[in-house]
Structures are given as structure tokens and as C-alpha cells.
Amino acid sequence: MEMLEKIRREISILDCLDHPHITRLYELIDTPTDIFVVMEYVAGKGGELFDHIIQKSRLSESEARRFFQQIVSAVEHCHQHLICHRDLKPENVLLDENLNVKVGDFGLSNFMR
């Protein structure tokens, strides 16, 4: 699959999703030479879930449960829209300033048949 097709597929998938634990697509600007994607900025002390786990060495049961509940909620939303992420890993799970999960990087995702 051509790179442009992959980008357009990722954009169309993100356009279907509106959930508090999935990075949000705000706007798409398509020019004859470029595609600009305006997405939610997930910043703060959170970073990637992977880095958070490494930094803390281990998560408490309550913190792990909270993260897992939010990830499951995001995945359930994807599946309700017949979307499969296909690359869910701690590096693709971002944490906002309140340490809430934001599932991102839908580059390998696809619609289910």
C-alpha cells in the first residue's frame, strides 16, 4: 500500500473516533502538495505509558487498574466502530497532565470486515 493511502486510511479512522481516551483529530488541511493533520496535543508530565512505567519501576495495583480500564474503554470504542488498532503497546499509549490515557498512533489500524 502506498504511503499516501496509509495516511488517508489513518485519517479516516481517526475521523470516526470520538472518545476521551483516544487522541482526537481536529482538522485536516489537504493542499495539492501537502496534507496537514491537526491533532490533540497530549502534553504534561505524562508522556508515554512506557516511560511512566520505566520511571516508576512498577505501578501500584490501583494505578494499573485505572490505566487498564481506560485502555479497554478506548479499545471497546474502536471495536464498536469496527476499527482494529493492531499496534497497541505502552509506547502508543500517551498520558495527559492528569495521567489519563490517550491511545494514539493509528498508523497500522484498519477497518474490520
Domains along the chain with CATH numbers: 3-111 (1.10.510.10)
Q: CB under 8 Å, gap of 24 or more: what pairs does 101-105 form? A: 101/21, 101/49, 101/67, 101/70, 101/71, 101/74, 102/21, 102/22, 102/23, 102/40, 102/42, 103/21, 103/22, 103/23, 103/71, 103/74, 103/75, 104/22, 104/23, 104/42
pTM: predicted TM-score of the whole model, two decimal places:
0.92
The predicted pLDDT at position 4 comes to 87
Condensed to tens digits (0 to 9), the pLDDT of residues 14-56 reads: 999 999 999 999 999 999 999 999 999 997 777 999 999 999 9
Average pLDDT value for the chain:
95
The active-site residue out of 15, 18, 30, 87 is 87
pLDDT the model gives residue 27: 96
Residue pair 70/23 in contact (Cβ under 8 Å)? The answer is no
Residue 27 belongs to what H/E stretch? Answer: strand 25-30
Determine whether 51 is an active site residue.
no
What pLDDT score was predicted for residue 113?
84
